[in-house]
A = this chain, B = another copy of it.
Amino acid sequence: MSIKIGIYGYGNLGKGIENAIRQNRDMELVAVFTRRDPATLKIATEGVSVCHVSDVEKYVGKIDVMILCGGSATDLPVQTPMLAKQFCVVDSFDTHASIPAHLAKVDAAAKEANKTAMISVGWDPGMFSLNRLYASAILPDGEDYTFWGRGVSQGHSDAIRRIEGVVDAKQYTVPVESALTAVRNGSAPVLSARQKHTRECFVVAAEGADLARIEKEIKEMPNYFADYDTTVHFISREELLRDHAGIPHGGVVIRSGRTGAALENRHVIEYKLSLDSNPEFTASVIVAFARATHRMYVEGNYGCKTVFDIPPVYLSPKTSEELVKALL
């Protein structure tokens, strides 16, 4: 019997979930929930209901796992605890500093309702977090490094778009190759923000806008750009659409550690992602963990989980015996 999935929010991530479900034969999309008028929303899968979020209660008992595709700033802090009272849920909450508080709220809601919830699933937080945990457990004496990119940062692109005179913009986070090489060689350097990443901006300015002022405002923007070497390219709207339509991303988690009687031996563990589509990859991770969420629920393992709590075997549609034979 297939696992019945609901999608709550139909932006880039929701569309990625819809595609990912079609790649997993043990999963079935039951309904998409939207805040828009459902009549205006055309989804890709035939025969699947499109409902207003206010109708979600009608689906209690008809959906095994509700996948929440809203944003971390205002949607998920409200939606995940609310929906965990009626459904098993998975979200991709990614405000790192607020994860413990979010976890506590979702855990209380899920436990009260005997549901299983999983938060902060994706690649960072998510697969990168898992690799930090495995690597630091294996090599207790060592240093962790995370590099992001080359990829589009939605937050930084949005920050540029808020500047007066900017029509559209795309910002790429780029790891500094020499820093990466030093870390891979095991030299365990201490690196500032500026030494790890550069920021490359492609900006469409309004006609007649003061380009020098826009460039200065970007480069001096605190938190977002001031601590980095930033390059600004002004391009036409056509060039932006033609050359920067995709949402690629990726990055590397590296742990460099030492073993031996005198800690004389060096080991480097590296986990690297190169992604054509950030939302589609995030969706693929979420769908695998939705399977695990359902399994834990069936076992009566309720409350809020993270990727750290999941036995890897729960992520695959294959049996334990098949996995041991094929992959161990």
Cα(A134)–Cα(B281), bound, Å: 13
Q: Is A157 an interface residue (CB 8 A)?
A: no
Q: Among the listed B127, B137, B273, which residue makes an inter-chain contact with A288, where contact means beta carbons less than 8 Å apart?
A: B137
Q: Is A64 an interface residue (CB 8 A)?
A: no
Q: Among the listed B16, B99, B266, B324, which residue makes an inter-chain contact with A328, where contact means beta carbons less than 8 Å apart?
A: B99
Interface residues of A in 174-231 (CB under 8 A from B): 184, 186
Query: Quick check: B259 and A280 within 8 Å, CB to CB?
Result: yes
Query: Quick check: B270 and A276 within 8 Å, CB to CB?
Result: no
Cα(A23)–Cα(B270), bound, Å: 21
Q: Which residues of B contact A79 (CB under 8 A)?
A: none
A182 to chain B, nearest CB (A): 14
Q: Is A120 an interface residue (CB 8 A)?
A: yes
Q: Which residues of B contact A265 (CB under 8 A)?
A: 275-277, 280
Most buried by B among A44, A100, A281: A281
Cα(A268)–Cα(B252), bound, Å: 12
A310 to chain B, nearest CB (A): 6
Q: Which residues of B contact A311 (CB under 8 A)?
A: 308-311
Residues of A within 8 A of B (CB): 16, 19-20, 23-24, 44, 96, 99-100, 103, 120, 125, 127, 129-134, 136-141, 184, 186, 259-261, 265-277, 280-281, 283-285, 288, 291, 306-313, 315-316, 320-321, 323-325, 327-328
A108 to chain B, nearest CB (A): 15
A323 to chain B, nearest CB (A): 6
Seed contacts A133-B323, A309-B313; 11 additional CB < 8 Å A-B pairs: A99-B325, A100-B325, A132-B327, A133-B313, A134-B315, A138-B285, A139-B284, A265-B280, A270-B274, A306-B328, A310-B312
Q: Which residues of B contact A320 (CB under 8 A)?
A: 308-309
Count this chain's copies in the assembly.
Answer: 2
Query: Quick check: A281 and B306 within 8 Å, CB to CB?
Result: no
Main secondary structure of the interface of A (DSSP, over half): helix
Q: Among the listed B186, B281, B308, which residue makes an inter-chain contact with A323, where contact means beta carbons less than 8 Å apart?
A: B308
Q: Which residue of B lies closest to A270 (CB)?
A: B272
Q: Which residues of B contact A120 (CB under 8 A)?
A: 328
Query: Quick check: A267 and B281 within 8 Å, CB to CB?
Result: yes
Q: Among the listed B24, B127, B268, B327, which residue makes an inter-chain contact with A140, where contact means beta carbons less than 8 Å apart?
A: B24
- Sampled A-B contacts (7; CB under 8 Å): A137-B315, A184-B274, A186-B274, A259-B283, A272-B272, A308-B320, A310-B311
A122 to chain B, nearest CB (A): 11
Cα(A141)–Cα(B280), bound, Å: 13
Cα(A309)–Cα(B270), bound, Å: 23
Known A-B contacts A272-B270, A320-B309; the reply to A23 vs B327 at CB < 8 A is no
Q: Which residue of B lies closest to A313 (CB)?
A: B308
Query: Quick check: B308 and A324 within 8 Å, CB to CB?
Result: yes
Q: Among the listed B44, B103, B268, B312, which residue makes an inter-chain contact with A261, where contact means beta carbons less than 8 Å apart?
A: B44
Q: Which residues of B contact A313 (CB under 8 A)?
A: 133, 308-309
A282 to chain B, nearest CB (A): 10
